[in-house]
Amino acid sequence: MGGGMTTTTGTRDFLLPDLGEGLSEAEIVEWRVAVGDVVTVDQTVVEVETAKAVVDVPCPYAGRVVALHGAAGEVRPVGQPLITIAPLDGDGGDDPHATYREEERAGSGNVLIGYGTGHGGSGRRRRPRLAVAPEPGAPAAADTPAPTAGPDPAPRSAPLVISPIVRRLARERGLDLAALHGTGPGGVIRRADVEAASAAPSAKLAAVPDSPAAHVGLAPAGDGDVVIPLTGIRKAIADKLSRSRREIPEVTIWVDVDATGLLATRAAINAATPEAPVSILALLARICLSGLRKYPQLNAHVDTEGQRIVQSAGVHLGIAAQTDRGLVVPVLRDAQRLTTRELAAALAETTAAARAGTLPPARLTGGTFTLNNYGVFGVDGSTPIINHPEAALLGVGRIVDKPWVVDGQLAVRKVTQLSLTFDHRVCDGGVAGGFLRHVADCVEQPALLVANV
């Protein structure tokens, strides 16, 4: 676990650690501790959201919490203070009864620590922000010092919100929490309050960035418009796809295939060993791995700075998965080493963890080729955007009954469409077409797959 320590008046600052490849910041979702609480080594103190996952962050120090740096919804740069810990000195701080739950503080009407409150002398509320990350190493915009005993000089009290789900729901629906009336104990705003407010005709939109330049050429938001900040994973998706389109000269080719034989093969496998079923996605992954072994040019990326193409020794297979947080691409590292059953098990575990938001950031980076089964959405085909910096992506449409010519006779078969989007810098059409045809042939005649593995 990364982090840092300073020794000012005996306190120690735990710095936001590096949470994964390419991540320079994280948004605070929920503090798990409050000022005055006693923490132990490796106790989870905060839940943060990166552009890739929601992560529990443990603190490497033990002692008493004297400051929380940042409130829920604020972005903290990697390497900046996250929490300040003071050593226990026999002042009774190690008494477990000295700690208390945030819900109890809310019930008594006290302001919650770490949930958008105006901590500190100014009492200034944090304005909604554009999705602009602070430069790494730059000072944080709003550290949260320990609360003082005096009254908050802010003319407008901060909303009482316990659940980060409630805060996120309000943000998604464009509601200003400070304008809502909480019906929970002590005025706590509940999910029902947010839903009731969003259903009301007079629901107020959350404030948008107040820079006139942000609205040049755009119609102003009107009554009933939904304003959704481009932040978190949505911003990460937008940035990555935009970069892919800017940098990669991509080409998409496609072919319709008869998947009747593939479905029959899966049924035979699962009938023989029902205790360890194999999915169609696992069979398609096995076919892709076979194709990449034959056409390694597609298991690569372009190093623009080094002016070279790097073909990866192992296939780190990305699987596009739709989740409540947005589209993510978890990665199975060295997938070529797995058997088909191991692939099936790994895919099931990985996609379930991705939808639950429990995958660590390291599992969401480093892919070399992506498989996207968009057929689950009931569509036949698409022109997928490559998952930068990879060189290719195979998309699979829905499998449906269609008329098909078999041995000169018209028959009803299980047909799907395969789409391959590839980086034209790493290969020409012959290689891409050869890979797609290999995949199509293995789908139509699974026996060919056995001959190539």
Catalytic sites, residue numbers: 424
Cα torsion 178, 183, 189, 194: sign = negative
Contact indicator for 66, 146 with CB cutoff of 8 Å = yes
Q: Which amino acid, one-letter code, is at 325?
A: R
Question: Which residue in 302, 367, 303 sits closest to 332, CA to CA?
Answer: 367
d(CA 153, CA 235): 35
Residue 183, CA distances (Å) to 165, 172, 191, 361, 399 in order: 16, 21, 10, 37, 49
Could you tell me the two tokens for 44?
């989870």
Q: What is the dihedral of CA 124, 129, 132, 134, to 10 degrees?
A: 10
Cβ neighbours, 10 Å, residue 5: 12
Scan for tokens 């605070």, then name that residue: 28
Q: What is the largest CA-CA distance in the chain?
A: 89
d(CA 238, CA 93): 46
Burial 188-208, CB ≥16 within 10 A → b, else e:
bbbeebbeebbeeeebebbeb
d(CA 229, CA 175): 12
d(CA 242, CA 236): 10
Contact indicator for 370, 315 with CB cutoff of 8 Å = no
